[in-house]
């Protein structure tokens, strides 16, 4: 059976990631593999570093077992381990290469500054399986699912990514028995809009007319209500956030294609901008 890799919250915190991931297990027909990370720097503090690490890991494993026993019933299947690692995302990358889990699940940490790339963003940018970054706020599994796709693209890599996004969103919607919504953002020039040369409502109507047959086909293929297909003109991050609120989405499924390096850090990729604005969970997929 396939697995969902869960990055556990710190043992002293509420185990949100574990509780929320357990609700996903049935939707993906997967078991959970839960990993507790420890990276305390004890070098220089004590002489017997190896022994101290072994003792810490053993104690953490004992506490982890107690925590998991309190969360799961006897009939539920899961596995867990405690890992000493200085870089969580590198450990995750290695695990994903070997085990190919269905997805990686983690509670979000949205305190990153301009030149600091958090574990969350490393996973979003680099992980080769879907990554679900869960909002710290209260989570309702009955919330709707929103898939953010690029219907106007002519690039095959983006078209393939659209398919992956819709497939993952459909799995979640079916698994949670909720509605599936789809959002497409029509790009608009702020300058032309300010000069009265572009009008969002006209662009939306034009896109709706041009893409009508494609939308009907997708609605039939993924069992989407036509009224749940949202076409809005504007900045993608703001549009997706607005549609997520309107559609009462608990999870937004989005693709990760964009700039990397210093430009990516300064200007931000669409998914990263959206992540900073959304109050929902974000399921991110790389091509």
Positive or negative, the CA dihedral 235, 251, 225, 168 is positive
What does the block give as tokens for 58?
């053993």
Strand partners, 84: 38
Q: How confident is the model at residue 60, as a pLDDT? A: 92
Q: How confident is the model at residue 266, as a pLDDT? A: 40
Whole-angstrom CA distances from 260 to 122, 126, 154, 200, 257 are: 11, 10, 22, 30, 9
* Per-residue exposure over 190-219, b if at least 16 CB sit within 10 Å of its own CB, e if not: eeeeeeeeeeeeebbeebeeebeeebeebb
For the beta carbon of residue 66, count every other beta carbon within 10 angstroms.
Answer: 10
Q: How confident is the model at residue 244, as a pLDDT? A: 93
Token look-up 């509420």 returns: 14
CB 157 within 8 A of CB 10: no
Q: What are phi and psi of 108, to 5 degrees?
A: -75, 150
Q: What are phi and psi of 241, to 5 degrees?
A: -65, -45
Q: How confident is the model at residue 93, as a pLDDT? A: 94
Token look-up 């409502």 returns: 201
Give the separation between CA 200 and CA 193, rounded to whole angstroms: 8
Give the separation between CA 173 and CA 177, rounded to whole angstroms: 6
Q: Helical H runs in the chain?
A: 16-28, 49-71, 88-99, 119-126, 156-176, 190-194, 200-210, 212-222, 236-246, 261-267, 270-277
- pLDDT per residue of the chain (287 residues) written in tens, 0 to 9: 689 999 999 888 888 899 889 888 888 889 999 999 987 665 556 677 778 888 888 999 999 999 999 999 878 889 999 999 888 999 999 999 999 999 999 988 765 444 445 788 888 888 999 999 888 765 566 689 999 999 988 899 999 999 999 999 999 999 889 999 999 998 776 655 555 566 777 787 888 889 899 999 999 999 999 999 999 988 888 899 999 999 999 999 999 875 555 444 444 566 667 777 788 888 999 88
Q: Is 227 left (phi over 0), alpha (psi -120 to 50) or beta?
A: alpha
Residue 92 DSSP SS3? helix
Give the separation between CA 208 and CA 100, rounded to whole angstroms: 38
CB 241 within 8 A of CB 229: no
What does the block give as tokens for 93?
């990358």
For the beta carbon of residue 142, count every other beta carbon within 10 angstroms.
Answer: 9
Which residues have C-beta within 8 Å of that of residue 204, sequence separation ≥ 6?
A: 186, 231, 232, 233
């Amino acid at each position: 059976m396939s697995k969902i890799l869960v990055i556990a919250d710190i043992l002293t915190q509420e185990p949100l990631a574990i509780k929320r991931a357990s609700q996903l297990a049935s939707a993906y027909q997967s078991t959970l593999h839960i990993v507790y990370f420890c990276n305390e720097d004890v070098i220089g503090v004590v002489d017997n570093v190896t022994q101290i690490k072994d003792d810490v890991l053993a104690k953490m494993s004992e506490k982890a077992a107690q925590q998991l026993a309190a969360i799961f019933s006897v009939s539920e299947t899961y596995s867990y381990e405690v890992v000493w690692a200085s870089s969580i995302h590198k450990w995750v990358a290695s695990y994903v290469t070997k085990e190919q889990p269905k997805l990686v699940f983690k509670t979000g940490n949205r305190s990153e500054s301009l030149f600091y790339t958090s574990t969350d963003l490393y996973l979003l940018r680099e992980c080769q399986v879907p990554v679900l970054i869960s909002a710290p706020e209260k989570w309702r599994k009955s919330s709707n699912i929103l898939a953010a796709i690029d219907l106007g693209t002519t690039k095959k890599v983006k078209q393939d990514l659209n398919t992956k996004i819709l497939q993952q969103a459909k799995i979640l919607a079916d698994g949670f028995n909720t509605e599936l919504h789809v959002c497409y953002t029509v790009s608009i020039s702020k300058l032309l809009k300010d000069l009265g040369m572009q009008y969002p409502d006209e662009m939306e109507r034009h896109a709706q007319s041009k893409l009508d047959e494609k939308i009907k086909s997708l609605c039939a293929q993924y069992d989407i209500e036509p009224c749940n297909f949202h076409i809005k003109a504007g900045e993608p991050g703001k549009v997706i956030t607005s549609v997520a609120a309107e559609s009462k989405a608990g999870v937004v499924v989005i693709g990760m294609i964009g700039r990397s390096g210093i430009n990516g850090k300064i200007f931000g990729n669409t998914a990263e901008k959206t992540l900073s604005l959304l109050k929902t969970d974000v399921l991110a997929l790389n091509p």
